[in-house]
Amino acid sequence: MGKMIRTGGAFLFLVLGLYVVFNKPFANLGADGHFIVMSLIVTVGLWIFEPWGIPNGVAGVLCLGVILAGATSLGSPPVRTEIVFSGFVAPAVWTLIPALFYGFALAKTGLGRRIAYFGLKSFNISYVSLMAIWTAVGVILSLCTPSITVRVVIVTPIVLDCVNACGLQKGSKGRSLILLTAWSMAMIPGLGWPTGSLVGPIIMGAFGQVKEIAPITFQSWTSVMTLPALLASAILVVGGYFVLKPETELKIDRSVFTDEYKKLPPMSRDEIVTALVLAGSFAMFMTGGRLHRFPDAAICLVGFSLLAFFGIIKMPEVSSGISWNLVLFVGSTMCFVSVFQKSDVSAWLSGVLSPLFAPIAGSPWMFVFVMLTFLFIWRFFDVALLNPTIAVLSAVVPTIGAKYGINPLVWIPLFGFAVVVFFLPFQNMFCMVAEANFKGEGWERNHQITYGILFFVACLVTMLVAIPYWISIGMFKFVP
């Protein structure tokens, strides 16, 4: 995106925001509500176009500062401050921060690389076995860190070495198939549990700011999302083989990867400690509510402390080991929900948006398929990981649930799948990270677009199974 486009796009959003605040075009929305909507519009423009190199996290907290300074309907100044910055004290943020350090430790110690090469050396090499290996690697890494970016950074150089060692020529379907499989499996299966991607903390944080929505737990998340995430992943992998069917068979011995594995140093103390901390943390997540009642945030913070205690995370790395811009970005998006709730924006949004759901909300099938399709298309416009849309719709989820019996948990797979859509690279920051790492030696653009369309189809097919399951567990008989 060129400098002129970035600047011009952000300027258009600024003009739109100023129009809203000065002309007050929305009925039933007060002056302060218009001011908050203006702040959000301008911020979304900064998130999408990133003019002058302004990081998304900085743009988010700038918006909060503007709201804090300009809005007057949120109570006395002390209360107003607590509301505006409430997202940063949400449990989801304090799950996110230490969990990001899990990914840092995974990459720093070399444990992620060892996991990948162990899989590659363990099976005879064919297209099917490579796809199965990279699927397993993606799932295992998803259990270790919520950062898709970390997983992509770990996987991409190894899978590039893999396709080169296999002699898969640039531009071939076989090369694109293996690269796209490894990349997508580092991204999609982790949607199945709240600590498997940033989607978890984002949705849990946004919903957590709405008092009418019960707190989302590890178990409640997995009850609606694990099956769809794993099923969509399986359909994508199998369908990918037929859509991008390789032109020739692979002719390579697994000894190539056995030799690469042997080149790795012996498993270090740091790798062993990291593996134990990650395995223990996930075991605690899985057994929460049955064997113990420790919150996910507490488990992550203890795990982070153990990594620091054993010297895996050192003092300078606390500030440099993770993207604090990402933390600011996620925290600021969560703040919007509480601001909406404590102003007249939430009530106004409910009045405007709720009637729009009337034609589809009466049928679970209609609701899910229409909303999923809409969100996939909407991602052409909301390129900020769907965070603005999640923040806005979170304010009306309770009203929709109360009126039409739709459990707020049903929104998790709809949002989750839409966040990782990749019809085009600009929609998916993880796609852009992978292509940057491939340095022009990656997949073909037409193959990536085809694979992105296949993912959409996989999600639709998945819903044919998921909807009856959700109906059977009462997801469409919600009583607040």
Intra-chain end-to-end CA distance of the chain, in Å: 45
SS3 282: helix
Degrees (nearest 5) of the Cα angle 59, 64, 67? Answer: 125
User: What pLDDT is recorded for position 74?
Assistant: 57
d(CA 240, CA 237): 5
Predicted local distance difference test score (pLDDT) of residue 73 = 60
The pLDDT, as a whole number, for residue 430 is: 85
CA dist., res. 354 & res. 459, Å (int): 25
71-106 burial code (b ≥16 CB/10 A, e <16): beebeeeeebeebbbbbbebbbbbbbbbbbbbbbbb
Question: DSSP letter string over 135-146?
Answer: HHHHHHHHHH-S
CB 197 within 8 A of CB 145: no
Residue 53 contacts residue 1 (beta carbons within 8 Å): no
Contacts 24+ apart (CB under 8 A), 379-384: 379/418, 379/419, 379/421, 379/423, 379/427, 380/423, 380/424, 380/427, 382/44, 383/47, 383/48, 383/426, 383/427, 384/44, 384/47, 384/48, 384/56
- 41: Cβ contacts below 8 Å, ≥ 6 apart: 13, 16, 17, 20
What pLDDT is recorded for position 201? 85
CA dist 414 → 99, 233, 417, 421, 467 (Å)? 24, 15, 6, 11, 12
* Nearest CA-CA partner of 279 in 253, 259, 306: 306
pLDDT tens, per residue, the chain with 480 residues: 578 888 998 999 999 999 999 999 998 888 888 998 898 889 888 887 888 888 888 888 988 888 888 766 655 565 578 888 887 887 778 877 887 788 788 888 988 888 888 888 888 888 999 999 999 999 998 988 777 887 888 888 889 888 888 888 899 999 999 999 999 999 999 999 998 888 888 898 888 888 888 889 889 999 999 999 999 999 999 999 999 988 788 877 778 888 888 888 999 999 999 999 988 988 888 787 678 888 878 888 999 999 999 999 998 888 887 778 878 887 887 787 778 877 778 778 878 888 888 899 889 999 999 999 999 999 987 877 787 788 888 888 988 999 899 999 999 999 999 999 999 877 787 887 888 778 888 999 999 999 999 999 999 999 999 999 999 999 999 887
Domain assignments of the chain as residue spans, ordered by start = 3-85+332-472, 91-320
Burial level of 4, CB count in 10 A (0-12/13-18/19+)?
Answer: exposed
